[in-house]
Structure 1
Amino acid sequence: MNISADEDSPERAGYRRSAGSPRGEARRRELLERVTEDLAANGLVDFSLRRAARAAGATHKVLLYHFDGVDDLLVQAVVRLRERRIGKALDAATEGSVRRSLGEWVRAVWPILVGEEARVLDQAIGLAMYDSERYAALGREASQQYLPTLLSVCPQHWSDRRKLEVAEMVLATLRGFLVDARTSGDTAGVAAGFEALVRALDREEAADE
């Protein structure tokens, strides 16, 4: 998997980033949305500043005005994809007025996690593992984005430590299932493991009763 930095960078080209004015911020969001759409459709393979510029309908120099190079743009686009995924998961999990158990919540969001954007986000984690020095933010940001949601759906009377332990377990286990599904194609094995996770969460909550 190759992410090209191209020959231009903010330092070499002498461009400055958008100063954060309302107009500049609106333009930055517009560009980011277009690049995010391209990433969702075409994945991370051969992602480059020039490819991003074509997707955004702008020049690479315009992108360098608003972003700190190709890596910054890639991380922000992946973060945006995760935001979409989390939003969809929350919508699915909060459908109806009855509070879901942890196991029910995980079951409700699983189809979203393995949905159309899963391939790109799995690639992002793989890239963070492949070149941790350059792309550590892709993995670090994933935990920072997902953990608050997982903590929020834990029973409110649990201690902060218990919430964190269970949230970390769910995050790590689901991430493992996603990687396994993507790399091995063993859908039956992943499904069996998923059911075991749901039962474990049910037992965790039942321990309070």
Structure 2
Amino acid sequence: MDGTAGRAGYRRSAGSARGEARRLELLEKVSDELGVNGLVDFSLRRAARAAGTTHKVLLYYFDGPEDLLTQAVLRLRTRRIDRSMAAAASADLTLAGRVRAMWPVLIGEEAWVLDQAIGLAMYDSGRYAQLAREASKQYLPFLLSICPADWDAQRKHEVAELILGVLRGFLVEWRTSGDAAGIEAGFAALDRALTAEESA
């Protein structure tokens, strides 16, 4: 027996409920490691050490190192979005207040790794463009959800895109210059723009 049948059976099991639970368990461990050590020198062997398994096992559940890296980054970003949602929900009910409440989360835990991911997508878009594209897909539903419920879909979309673009700019500024005063000045203008939009 050449082992091909066994491998195929294992691959089928990876799509089962049990297999999916195992894949998510591995992904959580790799994501935790990535959140501590960052993207530089990421490899399947490094990921396998973090997950307490072998790189061959990871290849049963993920389509290579780039797929695993992308999924781990998406997982870290989901965690940040969940924390942002919690912060926004506990904030003042204005849109500007909700956006402002998100900022400490965006620059907090694991933020540097997610900023690395965007930088990697910009540096090598041929291989890592999905890291940036998926960021928009992940953030926009949340930003749409914090817009006033009585706005029409087009207005929500326009304002959500504005918020996303401005916050990305602030994150680049924070990471590259650390100009907190400049970012605060930008937030003051964003607050006014969102307040005016909400009262229009």
Q: 1:198 to 1:18 in 2, by over 3 A?
A: farther
Report what 1:10 is aligned to: none
Of Structure 1 and Structure 2, which has the larger fraction of its residues in helix? 2
Alignment of 1:58-207 (within 5 A): 58-95=53-90, 100-207=93-200
Give 1:102 deviation, angstroms: 0.8
- Cα RMSD between the aligned structures? 1.8
The residue identity in structure 2 corresponding to 1:139 is: A
Q: 1:183 to 1:172 in 2, by over 3 A?
A: same
Report what 1:33 is aligned to: 28
CA contact (8 A) 2:14 2:60 kept: no
Q: For the residues of structure 2 that align with 1:54 and 1:104, how far apart are their CA atoms? A: 42
**SS class of match (1:100):** coil
The residue identity in structure 1 corresponding to 2:18 is: R
Q: For the residues of structure 2 that align with 1:56 and 1:169, how far apart are their CA atoms? A: 38
Report what 2:3 is aligned to: none
Percent of matched pairs sharing the same residue: 69
In the TM superposition, structure 1's runs of 4+ consecutive aligned residues that sit over 3 Å from their partners are 14-19
Aligned residues: 193
CA contact (8 A) 1:17 1:66 kept: no
Give unpaired runs (5+ residues) of structure 1: 1-13
Deviations 1:84-128 (A, max 9, x none): 1111111112127xx611101001111101102110111111111
Give unpaired runs (5+ residues) of structure 2: 1-7
CA contact (8 A) 1:16 1:64 kept: no
- Give the TM-score taking structure 2 as reference length: 0.91
